[in-house]
Amino acid sequence: MSNLINIPMYLFEQTLEQMEEKLYTLEELNLDALNYNRKAITITSQTLLKLKELKVSSRFQTIEKEIRFYKEIKPAVLSKLIYFTNLSNIEVKKPNTTINKQINYYKDHLNLFQNYIDQNIEFYHYIKTGNKNQDQHYFTRISYELWLYPETYNYYTDPNFNSSHDTILATLWAYEQLITEVKSEIYKLRRKVSNNSGTYIDVNLNWTSNNIDLIELIYALHCSKAINNGKLNLKDLTLVCEQLFNVEVKNIYRKFLDVKGRKNDQTKFLDSLKKALLNKINESDALK
């Protein structure tokens, strides 16, 4: 113990800031996802090793500083390493097949991340509520018993560099980010359609007419049994149209009464569609 020195906290903070600056600079290079993640892994892993070098040669002057290191500084670095490592693995192993298989692939990861949070839900709530009464137990080495807290990332388990819960906290932070990222990828995939060549194109459809017009269309499709031979119920058909056209349809049944209550032009929108199509046909005939 006599060989250990008191290293000021600002050196740990400075190391964290340097990592954030490097990651910010990396974003400006406009790299593809795979190369970006790989370089980010290098930056974060090197930062973690630098923190370890500083830590093992020093001692904390107070319990409060030790808690701050294991609750804020180290997890901020380790969570980034976990995040970019998982992101890289997800990208590399993503199936190059159908959209449905890719969605299911992302859903499997979503469940994996959420299950970890659920398994540590008590500690997760402890952090989220800003509780501090167990900080000395969770984020110092006074009561450190590694065997009580086996972790996936055990290649960093070192009694001189770990508290019982800093890795758990870092993993929770990383998985929160990954859940958001994976949900975003699922959303993007659901907004893709297959064209005739079998390749995929992005679509971004927005309903720019009014809701009454969409209700006319929904009811017409439903009543005509043009979709799934009429086996798709009105509620589900409305939901599909909302997702397809990025619009929210409220009170569809009441608004249908408004359509019925029109004195003239009960099928105003459908009539306008028919008129627009006939105009196109006539224009095409005129060009012959």
pLDDT over threshold 60, residue 194: no
Asked if 188 and 217 sit in the same domain, the reply is: no
Asked if 170 and 77 sit in the same domain, the reply is: yes
Asked if 170 and 235 sit in the same domain, the reply is: no
CB 124, CB 168: distance < 8 Å = no
pLDDT of residue 201: 59
pLDDT, tens digit (0-9, with 9 covering 90-100), for 250-267: 788 888 888 888 878 889
Q: What's the chain's average pLDDT?
A: 86
Asked if 249 and 148 sit in the same domain, the reply is: no
Residue at which a domain ends, from 164, 194, 224? 194
Length of the chain equals: 288
Q: Which residues form the domain of 265?
A: 211-286
Asked if 215 and 189 sit in the same domain, the reply is: no
pLDDT over threshold 60, residue 283: yes
Residue 177 forms part of a structural domain = yes
Asked if 186 and 90 sit in the same domain, the reply is: yes
Residue 199 forms part of a structural domain = no
Residue 255 forms part of a structural domain = yes
Residue at which a domain ends, from 167, 194, 221? 194
Residue at which a domain ends, from 194, 228, 255? 194
pLDDT of residue 200: 57
pLDDT over threshold 70, residue 77: yes
Residue 206 forms part of a structural domain = no
Q: How many CA atoms lie within 13 A of 56 on its CB side?
A: 11
pLDDT, mean of residues 147-173 = 72
Asked if 30 and 112 sit in the same domain, the reply is: yes
- The 10 Å Cβ neighbour count of residue 6 is 9
Q: How far apart are CA 218 and CA 234, in angstroms?
A: 8
Q: In the beta sheet, which residues pair with residue 58? A: 5
Asked if 166 and 253 sit in the same domain, the reply is: no
pLDDT of residue 261: 83
pLDDT, tens digit (0-9, with 9 covering 90-100), for 199-239: 555 566 789 998 889 999 999 999 999 998 888 888 888 88
What is the token pair recorded at 242?
């909302």
Residue 48 forms part of a structural domain = yes
pLDDT of residue 99: 82
- Give the start-end residues of each E strand in the chain: 5-6, 58-59, 192-194, 200-202
How many domains does the chain fold into?
2
Asked if 60 and 167 sit in the same domain, the reply is: yes
Asked if 161 and 18 sit in the same domain, the reply is: yes
Asked if 53 and 133 sit in the same domain, the reply is: yes
Residue 202 forms part of a structural domain = no
pTM metric for this prediction: 0.67
Query: Residue for token digits 């984020």?
Result: 139
pLDDT of residue 96: 87
pLDDT of residue 79: 96
pLDDT, tens digit (0-9, with 9 covering 90-100), for 41-75: 999 999 999 999 998 888 888 999 999 999 999 99
Output the CA–CA distances (angstroms, integers) from residue 12 to 3, 4, 38, 48, in the order listed. 19, 16, 24, 10
- In the structure, what pLDDT confidence band is assigned to residue 134 with cuts at 50, 70 and 90? very high
Asked if 119 and 180 sit in the same domain, the reply is: yes
Residue 127 forms part of a structural domain = yes
Cα angle: 26, vertex 75, 56; to 5 degrees = 100
Residue 238 forms part of a structural domain = yes
